[in-house]
């Protein structure tokens, strides 16, 4: 079978990727095609992407997609099926963050971010589910952030709240669809050398009262000349290789900072749960009550 055919063979996967025009999404498209698979690459403005990918022939389908539209999401999934006949991996990558303290955030901007970062994931996933369920196979990959696990990054509350929501949504979805043979993986990167904190991000004015939190984070991380440590091409290749396994992790951390932050957070959560265990248990009728509160930390 020719490499340029648009009909997948038994060894080729059909991917559907949102936010494909730059950053991790663009790197992922290249990794998918270099692995010999087929892909529907979607973006709000796919024209430049289509020109760049001409050399891959019919193995790539470029589609316009605004993920905040449920109707457009369904149409893009249908177009992928029309071209390739099936759907193996859905990657919800589209997303962005703008910076401002919650107190001074523009309500429209805060909601608009959530529309893309959460409702976009919902729209695309929901559009793909009937296809994956009827196939009895398929994987949904949610590109989240280590901040969606540990939180606490000043200035991007909408983005991080959406990533927490995506995780909860995906966990519930995995339980609901357990009989259907579907797989789910939430990818949690730390900082990567993309334009996430560059042209994709609007940094709004930070009031003096928030300079030590939001302002300090902007200077130290988001506007640092040092750049991010993560290689998006490596990340993309890791995701593609992971899809070749029969079993995938429910959560995939990517990057040294992601691993360190996640381990520290999990250890802290466990220590706190153990310290408050007796108090927490005492809320049930059958448990001893009252019990002594644990001493403040450091005592």
* H-type alpha helices, the chain: 23-34, 47-52, 70-84, 107-114, 120-135, 147-150, 157-176, 216-217, 232-243, 256-275, 277-281
In angstroms, the CA 24 to CA 237 distance is 10
297 catalytic? Reply is no
Pick the catalytic residue from 56, 159, 184, 210. 159
Residue 254, Cβ density class (10 Å: 0-12 exposed, 13-18 middle, ≥19 buried): buried
Pick the catalytic residue from 73, 105, 144, 153. 144
Pick the catalytic residue from 21, 163, 190, 210. 163
Are 36 and 14 in contact by the 8 Å Cβ rule? The answer is no
54 catalytic? Reply is no
In angstroms, the CA 166 to CA 65 distance is 19
280 catalytic? Reply is no
Terminal Cα-to-Cα distance of the chain (whole angstroms): 70
Catalytic residue annotation: 144, 159, 163
């Amino acid at each position: 079978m020719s490499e340029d055919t648009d009909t997948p063979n038994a060894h080729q996967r059909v991917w559907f990727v949102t936010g494909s025009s730059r950053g991790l999404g663009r790197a992922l498209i290249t990794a998918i095609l270099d692995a010999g698979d087929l892909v529907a690459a979607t973006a709000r403005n796919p024209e430049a992407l289509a020109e760049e990918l001409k050399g891959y022939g019919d193995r790539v389908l470029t589609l316009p997609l605004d993920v905040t539209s449920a109707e457009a999401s369904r149409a893009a999934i249908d177009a992928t099926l029309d071209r390739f006949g099936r759907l193996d991996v859905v990657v919800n990558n589209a997303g962005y963050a703008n910076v401002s303290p919650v107190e001074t955030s523009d309500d429209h901007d805060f909601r608009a971010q959530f529309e893309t970062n959460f409702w976009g994931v919902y729209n695309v996933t929901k559009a793909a589910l009937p296809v994956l369920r009827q196939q009895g196979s398929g994987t949904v990959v949610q590109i989240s952030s280590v901040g969606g696990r540990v939180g606490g990054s000043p200035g991007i509350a909408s983005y991080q709240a959406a990533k927490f929501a995506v995780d909860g949504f995906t966990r519930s979805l995995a339980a609901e669809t357990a009989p259907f043979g579907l797989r789910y993986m939430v990818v949690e990167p730390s900082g990567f050398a993309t334009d996430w904190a560059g042209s994709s991000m609007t940094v709004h004015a930070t009031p003096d009262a928030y300079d030590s939190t939001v302002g300090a984070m902007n200077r130290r991380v988001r506007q640092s000349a040092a750049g991010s440590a993560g290689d998006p091409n490596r990340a993309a290749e890791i995701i593609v290789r992971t899809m070749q396994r029969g079993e995938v992790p429910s959560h995939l951390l990517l990057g040294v900072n992601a691993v360190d932050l996640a381990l520290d957070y999990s250890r802290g959560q466990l220590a706190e749960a153990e310290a408050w265990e007796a108090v927490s248990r005492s809320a049930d009728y059958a448990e001893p009550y009252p019990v002594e509160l644990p001493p403040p930390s450091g005592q």
